[in-house]
Each structure stands twice: as C-alpha cells, then as structure tokens.
C-alpha cells in the first residue's frame, strides 16, 4: 500500500531539510522525499500549509495500565497520543502491579500491539515493586525491550543500590530515566515553596528537593558511565547542572514539560488541585532558564509527564488532590504557541525536541526523521489553526489540565504510525 503526503513543509532534523516536499510511503517505510513525486498512491494526504514532521516521541507517559484502568488504559492513552501527534510513548512502570519483571514488560508490549494505535515502549522499575530495597530484574527487562529503567514517581534514595542499578543498566545497554526528588526533604509540600504557598496556606517544595538528586545522579552517571536522562526538570539549577555535565562529556540528557516552560506559580489563582504536579510549577526565573535551555539544546527533549486521574482526584484542594496533569493532547499545540510562535524555537528545533532527540536518547535509529528509509511515523501539523483547549474533546480518560479554556495556535491534522493514518482531525 502506497501513501503520498502532498505539498507540506517537510521539517526534518536528521537531514536538516526544511522545504515544501512530497513524501511517498510504502509498506510502512518512507520511500522518497522530493519536491514533486508523480507516482500513483492508494491514499493521498493534502498537507498544504502544514508542517510534515517526524512523529513525536514522548519519553514520559503514565498509561495506568495494568491496575489503574479507571484513570487510563493502553487503548485510551494510545488514542490520546495519536490525537497529539505522538507516535511513540514510553510508559512509566508505576502501575499496579509495578512493572519489574520481563514477563510484565512482555505483557504490556503484547497488549499494546493489540489495542494501541501508537508504539508503546514499556519502561521497567529500578527496584522490585518500587520499594527502593531490592533491584528488579533489570537484565530480563532489557531483553524484553525495555529501553530504560525508571523509578518514576520517586527517587531511589539508597545511592549504593542505585549505583548498582546504573552499572546493570550500562551492562545491558539501556538508559536510566531519573525522577529527581529527595523524599526526605519534601516535608509534606504540595506546591512550590514561595510567597504564593504562604498566601494559600500550603506547604512548599523547595528547588533543592530536585537539585540535590540531579547533582547526585549526574555524579553517579559520571562514575558508572550509564546513559542518564533527567525527567521533568523544573528548576534553573537543574539546567546549569545539565550544562556542566555536557561540558564534561557525560551521556546526560534532560526533558522539560510544557507546564514547566509555560506556567509559573503565579498562575495558581486559588487552591485548585488541577495545578498540582510533581515537580511543582516554579518561579519566573526557573521558567526563563528552562526556555533558554530548550533554545540552546542543553535541554534537548520535550515530554509531557502525561498523568491522567479521575475527576474527583483532581477537582479538589491541593492537599487532597493527586499529583499530575494530562499532556499528550496539548503538548504540540502548547509548544508551538509558546515556543515557536513566540520565536524561542524554530520549527526545526520543535521537531528536534519532540522527536529527533527523544529517538536518539532511546537509541531508535529508524525514527525521529522524515527521510528515505525511515519508519513512516509522521505528523502533519497545521501551524495556523487556532482553537480552544477543551478537555471534553480528549480521547484520554484524564481531563485534568490547567490549560482548559486556553486559546492555542497549531493543531495536529494527521498522525501516521507505520505509514497508516491513526488520527485525522
Ligand atoms: Zn516523575
């Protein structure tokens, strides 16, 4: 089966091509990218006025499956991804049960193939049941296709044990994705430690809660040589430390989520649980540093930390609410509106941060590029389409977002996975 994407602006970070081109796909692979392709195709997609980018790769997603299917499933999460132009997602292992064995990884991969329209890469936990005491079957999970291990939701506080996990990850050729939070320093905090928290009478989480672990993890990566990826960075000092690690030629990468590069603690107007996430929304100077880091490439990936919850778990006060917001269906529009349209990133850099760099971090050599021979995971994105974010439209079971009612610019028009249209606006 041949598919032809006609007349779109191909933005490809791998070949650095940025020009109006046709893209010909056959049997799931990109056959040709050229100014005018005359070949007949069974399906023709009109991409006039749109970007044709490599499908987005979201390194940080909570699919809640198995065990918490009332929040999300492999199917609803997969459909949400497709709506957001995301063609590959990394599923975090903090499900019920925790994904900590080869068999559990294989189970998710098998079920995802049946029900998810997008590629799902299950990540494995660092410790058994995320108990922080005993290492999970890292070798077995790596063999089952885990491209990284992560204790996301918490940090492994025992540095000795964590170092052992890093050595094993390195031996098995996989990365460590780090959630950086010193649990002994949280002290019941629910939002950023600042004037606003005092005003609202809420306990604060200081920047050091994150920074202490960022520093530790970089030092451990330096000693073990493991590939370290820092999740959902929210502080200015995390950017400084990632920059230092890169100057030191360490294999350290970092991601930033849209809520952290758009919102500050000042956007929290009342004690509304929909603004509760971990790490929390920070100060203006943190947001500015994160944006600069994304611009310079120190922070090379944009991920969502998509964290769906039931309505009653979020529509309540900060103290009662669960941590996290959904992001799969709003990430591309928010990135375009707040980074590209405002001149912070070029469209090419958007494709780099959302697809090419994540593919590199995972070691996926056939993804992250719209060029000959690559797997045809592609997003057709209309940069001129304006719309208002309405959670009622989400495919995700989670409707919890602080961006409800926000007007954005740029919308996904088509998402293709393996050359097949899995979403059409
Ligand atoms: Zn996390």
Q: Which residues are CB-neighbours of 157 under 8 A, at least 6 positions away?
A: 132, 182, 183, 184
Residue 231's pLDDT is what?
A: 98
Distance 256 CA to ligand 1 centre (A): 11
Rg (CA), the chain: 20
Distance 177 CA to ligand 1 centre (A): 9
End-to-end CA distance of the chain: 22
Note the pLDDT tens digit of each residue in 366-399.
Answer: 999 999 999 999 999 999 999 999 999 999 999 9
Decide if 282 contacts 264 (C-beta within 8 A).
yes
Can you list the domains of the chain with their CATH numbers?
A: 55-362 (3.20.20.140)
Distance 28 CA to ligand 1 centre (A): 33
Note the pLDDT tens digit of each residue in 247-258.
Answer: 999 999 999 999
Distance 423 CA to ligand 1 centre (A): 28
Q: How far apart are CA 223 and CA 168, in angstroms?
A: 13
Q: Is 107 a catalytic residue?
A: no
Distance 23 CA to ligand 1 centre (A): 37
Q: What percent of the chain has pLDDT over 70?
A: 100
Distance 318 CA to ligand 1 centre (A): 18
Distance 343 CA to ligand 1 centre (A): 29
Closest CA to 254 of 300, 322, 205: 300
Residue 22's pLDDT is what?
A: 98
Catalytic residue among 58, 65, 305, 382: 305
Segment 342-347 shows an average pLDDT of 98
Q: Mean pLDDT over all residues of the chain?
A: 97
Q: How far apart are CA 55 and CA 256, in angstroms?
A: 18
Distance 272 CA to ligand 1 centre (A): 20
Residue 131's pLDDT is what?
A: 97
Note the pLDDT tens digit of each residue in 59-113.
Answer: 999 999 999 999 999 999 999 999 999 999 999 999 999 999 999 999 999 999 9
Burial bucket for residue 111 (CB in 10 Å: 0-12, 13-18, 19+):
middle
Find residue 51's DSSP bridge partners: 9, 381
């Amino acid at each position: 089966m041949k598919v032809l994407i006609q007349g779109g602006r191909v933005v490809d970070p791998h070949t650095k091509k940025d020009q109006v081109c046709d893209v010909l796909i056959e049997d799931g692979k990109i056959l040709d990218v050229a100014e005018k392709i005359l070949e007949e195709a069974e399906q023709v997609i009109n991409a006039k006025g749109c970007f044709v980018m490599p499908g987005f790769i979201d390194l940080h997603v909570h699919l809640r499956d198995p065990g918490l299917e009332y929040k999300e499933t492999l199917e609803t999460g997969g459909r949400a991804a497709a709506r957001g132009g995301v063609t590959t997602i990394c599923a975090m292992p903090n499900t019920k049960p925790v994904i900590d064995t080869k068999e559990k990884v294989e189970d998710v991969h098998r079920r995802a193939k049946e029900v998810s329209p997008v590629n799902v890469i299950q990540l494995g936990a660092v410790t058994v049941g995320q108990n922080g005491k005993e290492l999970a079957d890292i070798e077995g999970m790596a063999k089952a296709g885990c491209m990284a291990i992560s204790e996301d939701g918490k940090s492994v506080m025992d540095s000795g044990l964590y170092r052992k996990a890093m050595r094993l990850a390195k031996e098995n050729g996989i990365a460590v994705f780090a959630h950086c939070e010193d649990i002994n320093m949280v002290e019941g905090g629910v939002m950023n430690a600042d004037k606003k928290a005092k005003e609202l009478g809420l306990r604060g989480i200081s920047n050091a809660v994150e920074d202490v672990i960022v520093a530790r993890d970089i030092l451990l990566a330096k000693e073990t040589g493991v590939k370290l990826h820092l999740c959902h960075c929210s502080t200015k000092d995390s950017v400084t430390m990632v920059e230092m690690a890169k100057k030191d030629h360490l294999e350290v990468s970092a991601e930033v989520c849209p809520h952290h590069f758009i919102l500050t603690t000042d956007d929290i107007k009342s004690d509304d649980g929909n603004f509760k996430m971990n790490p929390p929304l920070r100060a203006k100077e943190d947001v500015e540093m994160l944006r600069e880091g994304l611009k310079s490439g120190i922070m090379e990936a944009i991920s969502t930390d998509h964290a769906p919850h039931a309505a009653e778990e979020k529509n309540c006060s900060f103290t009662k609410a669960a941590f996290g917001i959904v992001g799969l269906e709003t990430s591309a529009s928010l990135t375009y509106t707040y980074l590209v349209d405002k001149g912070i990133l070029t469209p090419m850099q958007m494709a780099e941060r959302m697809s090419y760099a994540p593919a590199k971090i995972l070691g996926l050599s056939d993804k992250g590029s719209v060029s000959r021979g690559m797997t045809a995971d592609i997003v057709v994105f209309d940069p001129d389409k304006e719309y208002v974010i309405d959670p009622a439209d989400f495919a995700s079971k989670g409707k919890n977002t602080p961006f409800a009612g926000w007007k954005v610019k740029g919308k996904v028009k088509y998402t293709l996975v393996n050359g097949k249209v899995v979403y059409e606006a």
